[in-house]
Amino acid sequence: MTDEQKKIPVSLITGFLGSGKTTLLNRILRDVRGSNTAVIINEFGETGIDGKFVEETKEEVIEINNGCICCNVRGDLIRILKDLLVRAHKEGTQLQRVVIETTGLANPAPVIQTFLMDDVMRYWFEIDCVSTVVDSLHIDKQLTEHQIAQEQIAFADRIILNKQDLVSQDKREALILRMQQINPEAEIYNVQNSDVPLDKLLHVYSFSLDHTLRIRPDLLKQHHHHHHDDIQAIVLRDDRPMDSKRLDIWFSYLVQVKGESLFRYKGILHVAGEKRRVLFQGVHMLFASNREREWKQGEAKQTELVFIGKDLNEEELRAGFAFCLGEVDEFQSKGA
């Protein structure tokens, strides 16, 4: 690095499952289009569903699947970043920014630690901002049941209270107070659809090591572990078209009966008679779907679903999936 070159800024997007991180990422990508930005998306499950929800972009999008970026795939993050540096050098280009979207189950501390303790990372990169997206409707439950949700808020420079249209004014005010109790130094934004002014998130260099060390004095020590063994990610795939009426029946059952145990579910549907891809996503009992672009010529038409939750019954989910494919005329509705 020459004296004229600045360190490459890193924007870290975190937040619990279903909070709206990918929506925020898409907004950032539209803003930085053509600026040689690398995007790294980490997912808890084995499949890269989130990457398929990212809008088409010329920026490089890299997925790290089948693990949490703060645990067993942290080495992959370092390797990918070093590879990007080497390639940029060979091509005579300059990487302008890195945006990292963590899985909703990631503790930001070890990710931050990566850029502070690895010599190469510390030399080339600088954390610009840690933005935590919060699901205003479900955050109280998440904070009660998952320590990770609190960690994500505590390490933020910017707290984005998303889905404000789904809660009352009294609830909004109570949420602000609760966020300030957890992290009194972060700036808080009340938004819908992750629509926060990007000049508040990019090129702000709001990350403060002093603030972070007050929250986590042991941040610069090597050992940080958290466990989510009771949380599963179940992936279902098939090339055959799904029956729309049966999908409605199955999803209605899942939302009403199993919604409490479903932290996050999303995917792409290949529906019989439908020329467009159908995207669906939900958090607990809040569910939405929409018809997206048409399937491209030569593109494999495939349904791919991922369910993330606690104590999920994989056999029952597969039975419901088979029901939507017309393999069986009913699906099991017993068990957890």
Kindly report, residue by residue over 128-144, the tens digit of the pLDDT: 999 999 999 999 999 99
Domain annotation covers residue 330: no
d(CA 26, CA 279): 15
Domain annotation covers residue 3: no
Predicted confidence at residue 299, as pLDDT, reads 86
Domain annotation covers residue 318: yes
Q: How far is CA 254 from CA 186, 234, 277, in A?
A: 37, 14, 21
Claim to verify: residue 186 and residue 237 sit in the same structural domain: no
Q: What is the CATH number of the domain that holds 272?
A: 3.30.1220.10
Last residue of some domain: 187, 215, 243? Answer: 215
Domain annotation covers residue 91: yes
Domain extent for 118: 8-215
The number of domains in the chain is 2
With a CB cutoff of 8 Å and minimum separation 6, the contacts of 34 are 58, 59
Claim to verify: residue 30 and residue 172 sit in the same structural domain: yes
Claim to verify: residue 137 and residue 286 sit in the same structural domain: no
Kindly report, residue by residue over 231-276, the tens digit of the pLDDT: 788 889 999 999 999 999 999 998 888 888 888 888 899 999 988 9
Last residue of some domain: 215, 249, 264? Answer: 215
Claim to verify: residue 187 and residue 253 sit in the same structural domain: no
Q: What is the CATH number of the domain that holds 77?
A: 3.40.50.300
Claim to verify: residue 261 and residue 310 sit in the same structural domain: yes
Beta strands in 168-283 (DSSP E): 187-190, 231-238, 262-269, 276-283
Domain annotation covers residue 220: no
Kindly report, residue by residue over 212-226, the tens digit of the pLDDT: 666 656 655 554 455
For residue 4, the SS3 value is coil
